[in-house]
Homo-oligomer: A and B are copies of this chain.
Amino acid sequence: MLGNFTYCNPTKLYFGEDALKGLNEELPKYGKNVQLVYGGGSIKKNGIYDEVTAILKANGKNIIEDGGVMPNPTVEKLYEGVKIARDNKTDLILAVGGGSCCDYAKAVAVSVNCGEDPWEKYYIRFEEPSCEVLPVACVLTMAGTGSEMNGGSVITNHEKKLKIGHVFGENVMPKFSILNPRFTLSLPKRQMVSGIYDIFNHICEQYFSGDDDNTSDYISEGLMRSLIHSSRKANANPGDYEARSNIMWTATWALNTLVAKGKTTDWMVHMLGQAVGAYTDATHGMTLAAVSLPYYRHIMPYGLAKFKRFAIEVWGVDAAGKTDEQTALEGLAAMESWMKELGLAMNISELGATPDMVEGLADSTLVLKGGYKVLERDEIVEIFKESL
């Protein structure tokens, strides 16, 4: 049942090899002061920094440097970014990077004019902005998080061992995003496959919820099939522009609210993975990969019909002469083969987690209620043990 919902994604997307030209159409709509958000500096090596700053200068903008955004942006970095924006009267925050940069840009955007502590307000109390929100835009260099067309923003608090995401409304979504698949080609292969699994899991988290089929499930199956197809091509040849462009486009649609319509959504793989991330600082997609199969095998009995459908429609499993459970398990086995083919992390030990961390990981795991089974603490411990 689709039920009652609203849908609004006003982000304008410029896609393709010429996408950066979109900056010339968009920049005149904003004030002079552009806060340029980026990560560790790879964009300075691969030329993207020079391309973007040249266009900013040609459009008469003041460039306010805000580099050094880490893969899991911290609350300390957020406070720093807010100060930069206040000191420089930022008119537009332009994130050039992957999901971390874009998530961080949104966190700064809702915090600059906020009189309270943004960590407490947005990531602990989950309140909505009551102040003016700065406009955010994005030049995407890594496909995965979908942050380029949603209101999501994940911030990590190392002191409290918390990594928390807030999904803001359409007023916080990027005003525009530049999606040039060529910008993703220079990523190390490990980051590419990590992003691919992040995309796949975003779809799973929405698909594996609810007990009735609706249009969202069918769209999700299409997106998963497209992603599996293109990921195999990209894995064989990371320079395959067509495959990389389909992956980039799938990433956007995997997490811009469309396929969540009518779904309760699960998100427990993210909760488990984020706990691992908080303990190990491992790459997001890899933490998801490492806990997924133990989690799905655990909840499969509670959503058997959907896992059977997943096996047949996404993995092409032939159900003839098999029990529902056999079919469902064959689907997860096909998924496991594909994950190994891509070289994903298949357990949390290889990400640095150790048996003595299990209790702490369970403590750090937020329990959500949208999936087929609301996990008890002992189930979480068991899943982490199986993930080791």
A residues with CB within 8 A of B: 1-19, 22, 170, 181, 212-215, 217-223, 225-226, 229-230, 242, 245-246, 249-250, 253, 258, 261
Contact = CB atoms under 8 A, between A and B. Distances in A.
B4 A13 contact: no
A242 B212 contact: yes
Nearest to A177: B7
A218 B213 contact: no
B249 A229 contact: no
B212 A223 contact: no
A246 B2 contact: yes
A195 to B, nearest CB: 15
Given A8-B13, A14-B6, A215-B250, A1 B261 contact: no
A249 B215 contact: yes
Contacts of A219: 219, 222-223, 226, 253
A245 B12 contact: no
A13 B5 CA distance: 8
Contact of A214 (B212, B246, B258): B246
A88 to B, nearest CB: 29
A1 B249 contact: no
Contact of A15 (B4, B22, B229): B4
Given A6-B12, A7-B13, A10-B8, A249 B261 contact: yes
Copies in the complex: 2
Given A215-B223, A222-B220, A223-B215, A7 B1 contact: no
Given A220-B222, A222-B218, A245 B2 contact: yes
Contacts of A249: 2, 214-215, 261
Contact of A16 (B2, B8, B11): B2
A6 B13 contact: yes
Contacts of A8: 10-13
A261 B15 contact: yes
A379 to B, nearest CB: 32
Nearest to A18: B4
28 contacts: A1-B245, A2-B181, A2-B242, A2-B245, A2-B246, A2-B249, A3-B16, A5-B15, A5-B16, A6-B13, A6-B15, A6-B22, A7-B12, A8-B12, A12-B170, A212-B242, A213-B229, A214-B242, A214-B245, A214-B249, A215-B222, A215-B246, A215-B249, A218-B223, A218-B226, A219-B226, A219-B253, A221-B222
Nearest to A221: B222
B1 A242 contact: yes
Contacts of A242: 1-2, 212, 214
Considering residues A212, A218, A221, A250, which has the most beta carbons from chain B within 10 angstroms of its beta carbon? A218
Nearest to A258: B253
Contacts of A250: 215
A10 B7 contact: no
Nearest to A149: B7
Contacts of A15: 2, 4-7, 261
Contacts of A222: 215, 218-223
A40 B137 CA distance: 45
